[in-house]
Structure 1
């Protein structure tokens, strides 16, 4: 708000025709988004960084069945809605979803009917801003938003244990309804196995290290960080 007052003041008293962008540096809003889908349900997490470097955290629980890609799109749409409601005009969006970012950038073609609808809605919302840049980042750079998206199964240490979670009842491409819920996040037994398989990072506790080393061979980690148990006959469970 203070930054907007300063901008309005300078605009009012500058000589007509002066380019204000040469005088006032406009910092973009940054939005980190991530979606997650598993057997327990689907969720979306966003982290908004304002031009004044304030961090706003939001977590959305999807009240409908959604694939991982649909959850990623819901996260992107939720992030755009939040910054649009806050009056942002210059926006930079960061996501670790290769498919969503590539489709929005035009590098991948959307063929699935639901992906086509999501892509059209995203482009429609992007028209409400002066500029919108969307970039793909590594999953490790998006862990905060990832933690918010997977509250039901895992959470990063730096995220508060009790945060407000919004429930999205229906897909964005058909209806938009939000209900507030409060969910207390818990640690998940899979976290240590996933960290060990993905980053070769073992727990600090000696007993936990031994347990993870005994059990990690029974599991397989897919590219989207979903954990599968190996069966004796071959197929992943």
Structure 2
């Protein structure tokens, strides 16, 4: 890090930490980058909502926790194949299972904020996927709260599919 600070310092380039993006900013960005016919400029909001309603987005999540900290990686993929990738670092201690839920919850909140109605989520935790599907029971009180919040957010989508595919998720996220 010091080496890069010296290299960048010669050119008056300053490194700034990227902070998390609020959902509305992400929604505005997608609206701006989406191709809309100029005839539909008065109805641009309706056009985008119709496009979102009739298509399925993909969400890939990956979370990790260690003694150095924890964080998550998220990738939302639009029906047209545009990728929106985010990395979040947490300043609190957490377990691997909790951070996997944090990753999914962050992705679900983003998708909800974007008014996405059809979502296909890929998580790299079989435990999280099976608890949400009801195959596994959540026994710890903290995990029960995470599970309840995840199910509450899932209810806001017209259709929701969840797949535990560790290999595919890790391949796409790295």
Same-fold status (TM-score > 0.5): yes
Q: Which has the higher contact order (CA 8 A, sep 6+)?
A: 2
Map of 2:55 onto structure 1: 27
* Contact 2:64 2:72 (8 Å CA) reproduced: yes
Q: Residue in 2 aligned with 1:50?
A: 78
Q: Does residue 124 of structure 1 match 2:124?
A: no
> Gaps (5+ residues) in structure 1?
10-24, 147-155, 157-237
C-alpha separation in 2, matches of 1:108 and 1:45:
24
Counterparts of 1:191-210 in structure 2, within 5 Å, are none
The residue number in structure 1 matching 2:93 is 65
Which residues of 2 match residues 63-212 of structure 1 at below 5 A?
63-137=91-165, 139-143=166-170, 146=173, 156=174
Structure 1 38/88 Cα, relative in aligned 2: closer, same or farther at 3 Å?
same
Shift of 1:6: 7.6
TM-score in terms of structure 1 length = 0.51
Output the CA distance in 1 between the equivalents of 2:105 and 2:132: 12
Structure 1 Cα separation of the partners of residues 49 and 99 of structure 2: 37
Which structure 2 segments of 5+ residues have no match?
Answer: 1-30, 37-43
**1:89/1:131 contact within 8 Å kept:** yes
Give the direction of change, closer, same or farther, for the CA distance of 1:42–1:141 in structure 2 (3 Å limit): same
| 2-structure distance, mates of 1:47, 1:84 | 14
* Offset of residue 8 of structure 1: 5.1
Q: What corresponds to 1:5 in structure 2?
A: 47
Larger gyration radius, structure 1 or structure 2:
1
